[in-house]
Structure 1
Amino acid sequence: MQLRPLGSSGLQVSPICLGTMTFGSPVAEADAIALTHAALDMGINFVDTANVYEGYARFLGSPGGVAEEIVGKAIHDRRDRVILATKVGAPVGPGPQDRGLTASHILREVDRSLRRLQTDYIDLYIIHWPDKLTPPEVTLQAIDIAMRQGKIRCFGASNHAAWQLCEFLWLAEKQHGPRVVSSQIPFSM
């Protein structure tokens, strides 16, 4: 499969990405691992997950992480063949620090994702949803810290309006920080 550049990130990704939102339920672990291996064997190198994905059985405030654990098991001996994307920002518990894009939440969740995914780094860390309560400067500073620590290679945004992406780009220029390299928007065929 011919790879394509992911914006200005330096990453080369397959034009088809394996999404894992249903890993856990209805797609059982063994089937999800087999599906991931088949996708990799066919040349798909881009895998998208999130810290809250656990399939359709998820309830608001549940800790999530099921899909990340399954992906981690599926790719642990094939990590060099995978461009791995995961997300942060959706609620992962009932407390006020269990959601959003505060620095403490982002830095805690990146470590949890790394552990579940059985990897030392995440290629593309995606801000899942905008956070009206946290200034974007704070979010970018946390992303910058995680990038400097080598935990993430680059970051993107999901479910953000164009003006919000422009705000991230403006702040990155102003603060000499990381630039958003991807925008994941809702689309169904």
Structure 2
Amino acid sequence: MEYRQLGASGLRVPALSFGTGTFGGRGPLFEGWGTTDADEARRLVDIALDAGLTMFDSADVYSDGASEEVLGEAVKGRRDQVLISTKAALPTGDGPGDWGSSRPRLIRAVEGALRRLGTDYIDLFQLHAYDATTPVEEVLATLDQLVREGKVRYTGVSNFSGWQLMKSLAVADRYGHPRYAAHQVYYSLVGRDYEYDLLPLGLEEGVGALVWSPLGWGRLTGRIRRGSPLPADSRLHTTASFGPPVEEELLYRVVDVLDTLAEETGRTVPQIALNWLLQRPTVASVIIGARNEEQLRQNLGAVGWALTAEQSARLDAASARHAPYPHFPYQRQEGFARLNPSPVDLTPPAPFE
């Protein structure tokens, strides 16, 4: 397994992380993802650790906290071998204190996560979304307090816009609070919006990307083909409305190239899609999910090799879309592009072995 620096922080993370949204299986969304119990989760953790995958990601809203509980049981007795990341801010109830990033909410969220996980510290605690109702100064001061108390070691965010993240970093610098080390983002061959603002920001400010849904919300598993109906057992039948939309022609164009590369490389479609992401700038770790051992072992095969520059370029071309303003002049006009070269052409940092 490759290990990479998480942004500008001192934390080294594996190139692949394990997303535990399949643990617990409570509620209409997460029941469709998976219903992994503690015994099954323990076996998946065994396989992951054997492969050098040491970071496991969760959130308080995953199965109403059951995901954290199952993860805690699965890593019991080997806490020092793993990195645990989790998230809070999204609503967990209907009460006024059940959502957001206020001081009491964050303190209560961290204490609840520690209890469910069965640990006394969280390696990476992330805000699941930006809370426009709470001053950024209050949020960062609270996270600073939690770091000083030893309950949290590093902080990050998820699903922030560029201005929201930049404002937070500026406030952190102004008051000497810990800077966000990570941004957990949606990024895939069928969803490259991350590249317009957030990727350049991550490069400039030292914020590492943790990629969620790297297979386009289950669309790049190798089971969806042009001219064929959606497989009857696909979770997209029940969960598609929760995830990012994808234009059909874009999807099929990408899948056509993935199929060709699978024949050339002897790798699977998911392995190729994951490997492409691992070559993108700022990407510290790609979060993979698995409902069973077979899926996990297949996804682990995305590391230890690399697409050629020519193969990556074919995927770039197939997945390209017209950029929105103000980005399209830099994409289409030489004069603009000379001033701001595309950051995706930059070589990613060498991994730690």
Query: 1:176 Cα deviation (Å)?
Result: 0.9
Cα distance in structure 1, aligned partners of 2:159 and 2:149: 26
Query: 1:78 Cα deviation (Å)?
Result: 1.3
Equivalent residue, structure 1, for 2:324: none
Cα distance in structure 2, aligned partners of 1:42 and 1:74: 16
Cα distance in structure 2, aligned partners of 1:94 and 1:175: 33
Cα distance in structure 1, aligned partners of 2:70 and 2:104: 25
Deviations 1:62-95 (CA, angstroms, capped at 9, x unpaired): xx11000011011121111111100010111110
Cα distance in structure 2, aligned partners of 1:185 and 1:28: 24
Deviations 1:135-154 (CA, angstroms, capped at 9, x unpaired): 11111111011001000001
Query: 1:102 Cα deviation (Å)?
Result: 0.3
Give 1:1-189 correspondences, 5 Å limit: 1-25=1-25, 26-29=34-37, 30-54=39-63, 64-187=64-187, 188-189=214-215
Counterpart amino acid of 1:10? G
* Greater RCO, 1 or 2 (C-alpha within 8 Å, sep 6+): 2
Runs of 4 or more, structure 1, over 4 Å off, are: none
Q: Which moved more, 1:179-188 or 1:143-152?
A: 179-188
Asked which structure has the greater CA Rg, the reply is 2
Query: 1:110 Cα deviation (Å)?
Result: 0.3
Cα distance in structure 2, aligned partners of 1:48 and 1:127: 13
Counterpart amino acid of 1:27? T
Deviations 1:38-80 (CA, angstroms, capped at 9, x unpaired): 11221101111001111xxxxxxxxx11000011011121111
CA change 1:37–1:27 in 2 (3 A) is farther
Query: 1:27 Cα deviation (Å)?
Result: 2.6
Query: 1:10 Cα deviation (Å)?
Result: 1.3
TM-score normalized by the length of structure 1: 0.91
Counterpart amino acid of 1:41? D
Counterpart amino acid of 2:36? A
Query: 1:161 Cα deviation (Å)?
Result: 0.8
Equivalent residue, structure 2, for 1:58: none
Query: 1:36 Cα deviation (Å)?
Result: 2.0
Cα distance in structure 2, aligned partners of 1:97 and 1:27: 29
Cα distance in structure 2, aligned partners of 1:81 and 1:13: 12
Q: SS at the partner of 2:156?
A: strand
Query: 1:96 Cα deviation (Å)?
Result: 0.9
Cα distance in structure 2, aligned partners of 1:46 and 1:9: 16
Q: CA RMSD in A?
A: 1.1
Cα distance in structure 2, aligned partners of 1:32 and 1:79: 15
Q: Which moved more, 1:2-11 or 1:101-110?
A: 2-11
Q: SS at the partner of 1:156?
A: strand
The size of the alignment, in residue pairs, is 180
Cα distance in structure 1, aligned partners of 2:177 and 2:12: 22
TM-score normalized by the length of structure 2: 0.50
Cα distance in structure 2, aligned partners of 1:158 and 1:24: 22
Query: 1:2 Cα deviation (Å)?
Result: 2.4
Equivalent residue, structure 1, for 2:310: none
In structure 2, stretches of 5+ residues that fail to align are 26-33, 188-213, 216-353
Percent of aligned pairs sharing the same letter: 41
Q: Which has the higher helix share?
A: 2
In structure 1, stretches of 5+ residues that fail to align are 55-63
